[in-house]
Chains A and B, each alone.
Chain A
């Protein structure tokens, strides 16, 4: 695939949920081009950046905005009040990504996570999230995001 073809559409490449103790609970790769290991590595970097950001008082919202950009991947972070970190990695295009739009996506992911926690069959001590309805929920968010992106001719 040529470089221009990749970069005309913004899309979510990875969604990660990191637990209270910085333990990765869920990392799913939605990209065909990038190796999964890279996302594990990017998510780990984000943990430190999130910790650094929340000490500044201007970030008193759950949404922490753009954390960093590496090559054509933009990493966005979100920290819930219950200290769960949600990280979304985008493959960026020339279309700018609006903060409001990202915030909405994070809120949806958090809602899916809340539903998971409310499931009586979910074991809060389990290390990985394997719930099928959770994965389905996240898949759904990924598939419906950035639908309105206009591909420039």
Chain B
């Protein structure tokens, strides 16, 4: 499934990798920012992801039959959406059937080129800002498909990512 069917536009992966790195730098690398400012910046990144996700949802679901329930939408995110954005499917999907879904990706593509000299805990701290944008994308996709939710992410070095989706009753 290609993103731009009409004119077969493509995105250079390396260019995207660089812009992704710079985006996070732009919002996080200002030394004298307080914790509050940092939070504000990560929410800005999240908002950028949200808008991206909204338009992706519109484009990617054009040829699909109608979704029957929330699980159907989550399955779409795990399979079609994930393979479009991250070139692979989610490795594990867990749910408690009460509105919480846990998506595990054992080899998160956007982190595949990252490593750190410091220990595991420090690496986690360094890598967390990079998760706001993908979290926002997932929230945007789901919200445009009718699921209001919050998305939290965690990372297990080297590059296993766990996204926790909690749906909010509207």
Contacts and interface: CB of A to CB of B under 8 A. Distances in A.
Interface stretch (A5-13, A37-45, A78-86, A140-148): A78-86
B65 A80 contact: no
A110 B62 contact: yes
- A contact residues, range: 20 to 34
A61 interface: yes
Interface string B135-168: 0000000001110000000000000000000000
A120 B48 CA distance: 10
A118 interface: yes
Q: Main secondary structure on chain B at its contact with chain A?
A: loop
Interface in A24-80: 54, 59-62, 79-80
B16 interface: no
A80 B64 CA distance: 9
Interface in B55-77: 55, 57-59, 61-62, 64-68
Nearest to A62: B66
A124 B145 CA distance: 15
A99 to B, nearest CB: 16
Interface string A105-132: 0010011011001101000100000000
B104 interface: no
B67 A81 contact: yes
A81 B54 contact: no
Contacts of A82: 57-58, 61, 144-146
Interface string B11-53: 0000000000000000000000000000000000000000100
Contacts of A110: 62
B6 interface: yes
Nearest to A54: B66
Given A54-B66, A62-B66, A111-B6, A80 B146 contact: no
Interface in B66-119: 66-68
A124 B58 contact: no
A113 B66 contact: no
Contacts of A113: 58
A6 to B, nearest CB: 33
Contacts of B145: 81-82
Interface of A: 54, 59-62, 79-84, 107, 110-111, 113-114, 117-118, 120, 124
Top 9 A-B pairs, shortest CB-CB distance: A81-B61, A118-B55, A117-B55, A114-B59, A114-B58, A60-B65, A117-B58, A60-B66, A82-B144
16 contacts: A79-B66, A80-B58, A81-B57, A81-B61, A81-B64, A81-B66, A82-B58, A82-B61, A84-B58, A107-B62, A111-B6, A113-B58, A114-B62, A118-B58, A118-B59, A120-B51
